[in-house]
Structure 1
Amino acid sequence: MSKPVYGKQAAPSKMSEKNSGPAWALCIAFILFLGWAPFQVGLFNGMRVEFEKPIYVAALLSGLLLLVCVVLYFKTFKLDEQRDLLTLAAILLPLTYALSLWGAASHYMAMNMLFTQFTYAAVFITSVYLLRQKQLNNVIQLGILAIAYLIVGFGLLNWLGSWKLAGSLVGWFSDTVVNGKYTEAVMTDSNGLRLTSIFQYANTYAAFLMAFLFVALFALIRSRKWYGQLMHGFMLVPFIVSLLLTLSRGGLVLMPVVFIILLLFLKPVQQLLWIINLAIAGVLSLLITNPVTRLGLELNTAFTSTAALHGWGYLLGASACTAALCWVVQHYLAPWLSRKLGSIESRRWSGAWIPVVSVAGVLIIAFLFIGTSARNILPANIGTRLENINFKQHSVLERFTFYKDAMKVVKDYPVLGTGGGGWASLYEHYQNNPYLSRQVHNFFLQYLIEVGILGFIVFMGFILFIFYKYIRGYLKRDNDDYNNGFFYLIIALSILVHSLLDFNMSYAFMGIMVFLGLGGMTVVMESRPLRLRWNKLWIRAGYFGLLGIGTGYLLFLSLGYISSSSEAYAAKKLVNVSQSYDEIKAPLVQALKTRPNHPESAAYLSMLDQQVFTQTQNEQFLDESYAVLTRALEGEPYNKDLLSQLAKYYDLKGQSEESLQVYQDNADKFMWDINWYDHLISRASLLGLQAYAKQDEAGKQKYFDSALASYKHITDGIEHLKTLPPEQLQGREFFVTSTIALNAGRIQSLSGDGEAAGATVKQGFINGYEDLTDAGTLWTTDWYSGVISRSQELGAAALKRALDAYALGQTDLGDQETVNKERYFKTGLDAYAHAAADEEWFSALPAEEQQGRGAMITSAMLLNAGKIQYLSKQFQAAAATLQQGLNEDYNDAVNRETARWYLAVLQRTQSAQDQAVYDKLIAADPEEAVKINEVAVMPL
């Protein structure tokens, strides 16, 4: 039987003089890459040009490191054992993503994931060769710890108000720093402020903190130097406090799970030292969490040096005390425990009883902090998060829904998957309710969706083999090799376990850490000689040849993608500051040369062309818009923005039926997007009314049936949402909008079902319109006028309440009232648009059908619609609407008010004053001058 080979025997004991210099250079470059990555490589799943360039740069840098590694270790590389074969197997991971490009839901996101997976493979292979050399291994471990400690310090700088200092430290190389501040290093959501450091997402930062808290604890206990013990002990408190400040329930729930799993790898003395040192840091962290939380909340509102110094005083004082106590434990208690318990460590299962007891201890602590008033020692926001930990909590229920919907995708794309980013592209088609989540919140399920069963088997076989061989070899390995491997096991295991509940691996830096961890485990795993003779020159040369060619090709692609991304980002910034069509278009054209289906660039260029067409009526711009859209949609058939632009193109061409067809053909892709169905029903209704006016019975019925079928989809969906558990949030709003109610109700009325029409309109006009919908007379001039006037009143009142709430610091109330304001204003403008459309439509009817039917646009409607547009900051539209409502009778109060608001719009926008209207208004009432100014300066 062949003997297993362990890391120490397999690794060269000393680097040759020839390779020592290059190897050290590669090691330093590798550490610098790891230090660059966390501040650059963010989320890569979305369609945002800001996130894509660092992905391509990471692929470029890691590819260059891999090529250097290939050159450096070509002569010493042998295919003698299982460890060597894993460096070949790593190439299969990006290859499965390359296969999934065939039929990918989004070519753009699939390519991004291919580059990312190549980065992971390059990091894995490079780390396997570097970490075999003990000195380089130690340096890399120190480098990783230094990076982790800097990330924690960076987060606490932001929490304690020193965001300018934090931004200046990384702003010279990070695009995430805007106006001197790192974007969302402290994020805000419904739970209040949450610490995120570099990650901009609190739960992923919690996963990072959990992993490196245990790494720091391990480094503390392993260290034989007093300064090492003090340094690592000092950092335990910042890790724990930062973890609490993330308010991450997943982090708090999974931390003890991972801790107990890790204890199983330790001997009893080490287990006790882990528990004692962590307990010391935990108690001191809890003592300062309240004041540090309170001061952080204050400092993120208004910075004062006194409060900042107090916050740092608490942190540094507790950290120093922890460091001193941990040193005492390691210096005095650890040797005593080794003498007392050393004899039992050789006994079988001696390392199991402490983890078993720890489970009971964790359950008791969890009960105290979740089920009793003991949680009151924590800040209120943290206590509330703990109190809400249960299986009926909305985030838990939502995750279960994600997982069920994910399996629907797998069923339809079983073998090769959907390609990278497949869930983000497809989830709206499969979702059970209208949640917004471009992530499955489970890394393994998301991986299965993207590469299918074939790729998933490859990936799981790869990581499970490494874990299996590491664990088998753990019992037989000498202490030094075990320690090195355990450092990396902690990182990989912690992040992967947390990724069962969240999308940490959607941050490329976290993925890099996991594959670095897998590489470190591979170096010291049990590795048997290969039975087949793989170590032949032609096999080794072929492997390195293919690796070099593949890497070179991806490096070439990455250079092109970096250039394209730079042009796309430049154009995106120009959109906000330039009015020059040619200036904005130039970088977009360059961006699309390399990537013709880049969705964001295509959408921007198409939008520009359509805007220019509306100004010039030059068909050339529409033709270019169509060419750009159709080319992009070949690779992005599920991109909502591109499809909406295509529908708009048909609208501009006057091809209303083709526009409707875009919405009908793609409605199943966006099953819970109420705006999509709003547009669909509006277009079907308009075409049906046009056919009705032309007495085209077949056409009328076709379009009316389409609109009513979509309306039924909405009402069925509303009923389905009532079946959700009461604790589960439904996600986006899904309701009968005023536009849908007016269109569907009108169709039902014309189809002879007046009762259904009345019921439909009532669904779209609630919370303030009940008396109008109960009046019995709909679609008349008076009814429309009443709706528009009521919308203006309700919206203005909601606006005032929102402004008052913001002034008092009541952000949640202010946000809710802002939503109310926008909904009321939209209802009023929808009613105004329908009244105008009705006036035009009724005029097209045969004369005999016009009797006693239809609505007319009145001056009162124009006044209230103009007010709504003004209060919505649609100043140009407001001026046009109000001007349309003016007449020569300035004795009429409505006309004077219309003129007042019209002149106020001009004054607010600093437009040329309409002197004729002003003179007539002041002549009628001199006090109007003051009233105009009051409207012009009113807060909005």
Structure 2
Amino acid sequence: MANPVYGKKAAQSRNAEKIPDSLWVLVIGFILFLVWAPFQVGLFNGQQVDFEKPLYISAIIGSLMVIVWAAIYYKRFKLEDQRDLLALAVLLLPLTYFLSLFVASSHYMAVNMLLIQCMYAALFIVSLYLLRQKQVNGIIQTAILTVAYLTVWFGLMNWLGAWNVAGGVVGWFSNTVKAGKYLDAVMTDSNGLRLTSIFQYANTYAAFLMAFLFVAVFALIRAKKWYGTVTHGFMLVPIIVSLLLTLSRGGLVMLPVVFVLLLLFQKPSRQILWIIHLIVAAVVSLAVINKVTSIGERLAAVPDASAAVEGWAWLLIASAITAAISWAVQRFAAPWLDKRLEGWSTRKLSNLWLPIGATVLVAIAAFLLIGTSVRSILPANIETRLENINFQQHSVLERFTFYKDAVKVAKDYPILGAGGGGWAALYEKYQNNPYTSRQAHNFFLQYLIEVGILGFIVFMGFILFVFYKYIKGYIRNKDQDDFNNGFFYLIIALSILLHSVLDFNMSYAFMGLLVFIGLAGMAEAMDRKPLSNKWTASGLRFGYLAVVCIAAIAVFFVSIRNISSANAAAEAKAVVQISTSYEEIKTPLAKALKNRPGHPESVILLASLDNQVYKQTKNEQFAAESLAVLQRGLKDEPNNKQMQQQLITLYDLQGKSEESYAVYRDNAGKYIWDIEWYEPLITRSFNLGNAAYQQKDTTKEQQYFQTGLAAYEHVVDGVAFLKTLPPGQLQGRPFSVTPLIALSAGKMQLMTGKTAEAATTFKQGLTEDFSDATNKEVARNYLAALQKQGQQDQAVYDKLIQSDASEKAKIDEIAATQY
């Protein structure tokens, strides 16, 4: 086997080096993983139970790859330069997640995120050394581009009526294909149809497309063969059309930002080529976007083979035209530009003029498309999205709210963070208004929440060092092939990370993989400053390999255990659909909980099952098991609302009203905008307080009423605050003084001598439906409270008496009651 090359001679000797036979195993495995990953871990990270198994499989693959890498490289591995040091430094990233595990708000999500970080670290290490082989570097670049291009065509197949073909191609290995169709490859929301391809989320797909649009342009200009130029040129229109079909405003906003930044790295002749190719592709894409959009919308409603053929014809012809122009530009214009601008390229700051000009052009284009009627050349749905780009638009206001709330969480978990999935577990406790978002829509803030200041400094230090060292070397050596290889990876990492300031792209494990491979590609090409002799000691390097292998083995076995648990949980869910047998359902659940006693879905399902059986049989054995399962689950998942609700259900079935009330009371601070939590808390406070009043237990009566009225004031204050939200910001979930809240709170006020306040409270809960029993009771108490003060609301009184004449006596009875 040929020796891997390190140190100062790497650049010269590895160019002619052949790939060792043993390395092909790792290369092929790496490429197969790249092909498999988009359809498995293109979905959410460790925050959703339905997607956990592919993540564990990915962690296993990552651990196996790093073990194979260690077996191949262990005799020649040395910590010789700063690139090798990064292989050591990357281990600090999963280490910070391991530390946060001890203070995690959700043990389940924290373990999942730890495994994901281990997978990222493993892929970084393997990539860092694989990419040192020039031939392997080229193969991996080709594989990444191939996967990206296939992802684009996969999305367009779903848009242009070939969803059955797309689903059939990936259905045999993807669990996201149902009835032959990939779920939500084209999704519908309030904006209409949006293309998402494998991601099922349009904004993340837009980030992916933005990255590979620029990679395609870079590859086009760099291609040495005509078929490479034509292939990459052909893909420009499908990528731009797909980007427009996502309707992602964030993608359109970040696109010019990333474009201008990338131009800064190019010499003037290359800058002009970038601009020419993108302008040509954009103009051709705009020429066909109306047709492709309308045909896709028609096909989503009614299958139409002729329309599908027409749509494909428009797209393919436009792509072919762009490919031909791209080839012509590269064949004739590129050499001429290089020759004419050779002298200009040597001038100081010469690479700044075109980016500055591009910024001005982008600003003008943005003004025309956003602030004038020029946007009418676009399809109506895209025009509407552009029209709504402003800082008062609801999605912008909501993101600013997320960011402010994220800072609140970070302040309470400053050092080690709240563990993986910390935002998802805690956001309801800190949210400004009742929105629903298990993602903070900012990767960096979410990372800060999860690992605290310590982990955030480690992460930012790591990525900034890689970018700094690569960019510094690139500026000095931009014409060297090694640094051009690195620029391929910089485009990917920079594009995704910048867009992640606005969205949760990195919550998709596949996007995270691309970023860490991108970081490795830059690290491989950066300046190779040698390390001091102390780093080359055999004990240190063998110790490193031992730590890496031990960690990989641990990840392997933990992931195997978790897969077993996930399989058992999935089996239980399947059995529930076809069987009512307690033992048949419980058996896989018990297996799932044996390995992971805090597995949320299994805990909830088994507790629900035990509660149902207990309700039917009153056998305390089932109640005891339900309680034990829930208490153990809540130990790991103290913020899991569904577990809390199952515990309340159990206590209610047992007649333990005070215990169920205590669950509502003690956890109210975790769900501050959940009216479905506060309504039962307030009504139960009244019921228990009223029972204590009947028993003449003044102390308990006051305790219950104080809690209930404090919860009521929380709701009133919340309703008042929601009225102060900016006009463009959506409130989120319903939050108001419901009739039941008004009835219970008003009664508590009435019984504590606050008659005027009670009347006001009752009035808030009134509705127009006097056939409703609750509304009748609210009206009855409202009128009685007024009568106590010598007042009357004749309109309400007439409606109530008209609906039921017996209400007059009931009103008088309440009004005469002395508390």
Which interval holds the TM-score relative to the shorter structure? over 0.9
Aligned residues of 1:6 and 1:524 also touching (Cα < 8 A): no
1:303 Cα offset (Å): 0.9
Moved more, 389-398 or 493-502: 389-398
Alpha-carbon distance in 2 for matches of 1:413, 1:340 = 58
Matches of residues 185-264 of structure 1 in structure 2 within 5 Å?
Answer: 185-264=185-264
Structure 2 CA distance for aligned equivalents of residues 11 and 145 of structure 1: 27
CA contact (8 A) 1:211 1:494 kept: yes
Give CA deviations for 1:796-835 in whole Å, capped at 9, x if unaligned: xxxxxxxxxxxxxxxxxxxxxxxxxxxxxxxxxxx9xxx9
Q: Distance in 1 between matches of 2:573 and 2:509?
A: 24
Shift of 1:621: 0.4
- State the Cα deviation string for residues 37-80 of structure 1 (Å, max 9, x = none): 11001444565321111111100011111111111111221111
Partner of 1:757: 758
Corresponding residue number in structure 1 for 2:104: 104
Determine if contact 1:597/1:632 at 8 Å carries over to the other structure: yes
| Structure 2 Cα separation of the partners of residues 349 and 689 of structure 1 | 80
Pick closer, same or farther for the CA change 1:542–1:719 going to 2, 3 Å.
Answer: same
Shift of 1:406: 1.1
Q: Distance in 1 between matches of 2:7 and 2:264?
A: 24
1:691·1:700 contact (CA, 8 Å) conserved in 2?
A: yes
Measure the CA separation in 2 of the matches of 1:356 and 1:575: 62
SS at match of 1:100: helix
1:368-447 aligned within 5 A? 368-447=368-447
How far off is 1:781 after superposition?
14
1:771 Cα deviation (Å)?
A: 12
Residues 102, 773 of structure 1: alpha-carbon distance in 2 compared, 3 angstrom cutoff: closer
Q: Distance in 1 between matches of 2:668 and 2:772?
A: 34
SS at match of 2:735: coil
Indicate how the Cα distance of structure 1 residues 646 and 344 shifts in structure 2: closer, same or farther if over 3 A, else same. same
Identity %: 59
Distance 1:740 1:591 in 2: 40
Q: Deviations over 1:113-172 (max 9, x none)?
A: 000000100110000111000111101111001000100000001111221111111110
Q: Is residue 202–residue 246 contact of structure 2 (8 Å, CA) maintained in 1?
A: yes
Q: Report the alpha carbon displacement of residue 6 of structure 1 after superposing the two structures with TM.
A: 7.2
Partner of 1:352: 352
Q: Tell me the distance in 1 between the aligned counterparts of 2:256 and 2:321.
A: 24
Task: Answer yes or no: is the 8 Å Cα contact 2:167–2:182 preserved in 1.
Answer: yes
Q: Where does residue 672 of structure 2 map in the other structure?
A: 671
Cα separation, partners in 2 of 1:241 and 1:387, compared to 1, 3 Å: same
CA distance in 2, matches of 1:850, 1:628: 48
TM-superposition CA deviations, 1:618-669 (whole Å, max 9, x none): 1100000000000011111111111111122211221111111111111101
CA positional deviation for 1:765: 3.4
TM-score by length of 1: 0.81
1:869-884 matches, cutoff 5 A = none
Q: Kindly state the Cα deviation for residue 696 of structure 1 after the two structures are TM-superposed.
A: 3.0
Task: Write out aligned runs for 1:423-572 (5 A).
Answer: 423-477=423-477, 478-572=479-573
Distance 2:759 2:575 in 1: 49
Q: Which has the larger radius of gyration?
A: 1
Are the aligned partners of 2:767 and 2:775 in contact in 1 as well (CA < 8 Å)?
no
User: Which deviates more, 655-664 or 107-116?
Assistant: 655-664
Alpha-carbon shift at residue 770 of structure 1 (Å): 12
Distance in 2 between residues matched to 1:279 and 1:108, nearest whole Å: 48
- Distance in 2, matches of 1:780 and 1:716, equals 23
Q: CA distance change for structure 1 residues 510 and 744 in 2, over 3 Å: closer, same or farther?
A: same
Other-structure match for 2:11: 9
Number of the residue aligned with 2:788 = none
Matched residue of 2:101: which SS? Answer: coil
Structure-to-structure mapping, 1:445-844, within 5 angstroms: 445-477=445-477, 478-766=479-767, 778-779=779-780
Q: TM-score, normalised by structure 2?
A: 0.93
Deviates more, 1:717-726 or 1:618-627: 717-726
The structural deviation recorded for 1:344 is: 1.4
Report the 3-state secondary structure (helix = DSSP H, G, I; strand = E; otherwise coil) of the residue aligned with 1:172.
Answer: coil
Shift of 1:9: 2.5
Shift of 1:479: 2.4
1:132, 1:523 within 8 Å by CA — same for their partners in 2?
Answer: yes
CA contact (8 A) 2:106 2:636 kept: yes
Instruction: Kindly provide the amino acid, as one letter, of the partner of residue 329 in structure 2.
Output: V
Q: Does the CA-based 8 Å contact 2:762-2:778 persist in structure 1?
A: no
**In 2: Cα distance, 1:752 partner to 1:98 partner:** 55
C-alpha distance in structure 2 between counterparts of 1:167 and 1:774, whole Å = 52
Q: Is the contact between residue 268 and residue 350 of structure 1 (CA under 8 Å) also seen in structure 2?
A: yes
TM superposition shift of 1:599 = 1.1
Q: Which amino acid aligns with 1:723?
A: T
Partners of 1:101 and 1:107 within 8 A in 2: yes
Counterpart AA for 1:207: A
Which deviates more, 497-506 or 392-401? 392-401
Contact 1:14-1:133 at 8 Å conserved across structures: no
> 529-538 vs 571-580, which deviates more?
571-580
- Displacement of 1:850 in angstroms is 12
Q: Are the aligned partners of 1:45 and 1:421 in contact in 2 as well (CA < 8 Å)?
A: no
Deviation at 1:715, TM superposition (A): 0.2
Give the residue type in structure 1 aligned to 2:678. Answer: Y
Structure-2 separation of matches of 1:77 and 1:556: 26
SS at match of 1:188: strand
- Structure 1 contact 46–438 (Cα < 8 Å) conserved: no
- Counterparts of 1:203 and 1:273, CA distance in 2: 28
Return the alpha-carbon distance in structure 2 between the equivalents of residues 557 and 462 of structure 1. 27
The alpha carbon displacement at 1:475 in A equals 2.4
Task: Determine if the alignment matches structure 1 residue 293 to structure 2 residue 293.
Answer: yes
What residue is the counterpart of 1:801 in the other structure? none
CA distance in 2, matches of 1:776, 1:61: 63
Q: Sort the Cα spacing of 1:257 and 1:47 in 2 relative to 1 into closer, same or farther, 3 A.
A: closer
Report the more deviating stretch, 559-568 or 692-701.
692-701
- Whichever residue aligns with residue 65 of structure 1, its letter is M
Change (3 A) 1:251 1:6: farther
The range that moved more, 684-693 or 97-106, is: 684-693
Query: Does structure 2 conserve the Cα–Cα contact (< 8 Å) formed by 1:24 and 1:136?
Result: no
Shift of 1:410: 1.3
Match of 2:114 in 1: 114
Deviations 1:688-737, CA, capped at 9 Å, x for gaps: 22223333333323222221111110001111111211111121111112
Instruction: Work out whether residues 42 and 51 of structure 1, in 8 Å CA contact, stay in contact via their aligned partners in 2.
Output: no
Letter in 2 for 1:128: L
Q: Contact conserved, 2:765 with 2:778, CA < 8 A, in 1? A: no
Number of the residue aligned with 1:807: none
Q: Which is further off, 272-281 or 773-782?
A: 773-782
Partner Cα separation in structure 2 for residue 539 and residue 295 of structure 1: 62
Gaps of 5+ in 1: 784-830, 840-847, 855-940
Please list the CA deviations of residues 68-109 of structure 1 after superposition, one character each: whole Å capped at 9, or x if unmatched.
Answer: 111111122111111111001111110110000111100000
Question: How many Å separate the matches in 1 of 2:715 and 2:696?
Answer: 29
Per-residue deviation, residues 574-598 of structure 1 (Å, max 9, x unmatched) = 3333222211111111111111011
Cα distance, 1:349 vs. partner?
1.1
What code does the residue aligned with 1:61 have? Answer: I
SS at match of 1:71: helix
Equivalent residue for 1:882? none
Secondary structure, aligned partner of 1:579: coil
Aligned to 1:280: 280
Provide the secondary structure at the position in 2 that maps to 1:351.
helix
Report how far residue 744 of structure 1 moved. Answer: 1.7
One-letter code aligned to 2:498: V
Cα distance change, pair 721–228 in 1 and its aligned pair in 2 (3 A): same
Q: Deviation per CA, 1:729-777: give whole Å up to 9, x if none.
A: 1211111122212222233333444443343233233466699999998
CA 1:11–1:608 in 2, change beyond 3 Å: closer, same or farther? Answer: farther
Q: Secondary structure at the match of 1:102?
A: helix
Aligned length: 788
Amino acid at match of 1:401: T
- Pick 1 or 2: higher relative contact order, CA cutoff 8 A, min separation 6: 2
RMSD: 2.5
| Residue aligned with 2:476, SS | coil
1:890 corresponds in structure 2 to none
Residues 25-104 of structure 1: matches in 2 within 5 Å? 25-44=25-44, 47-104=47-104
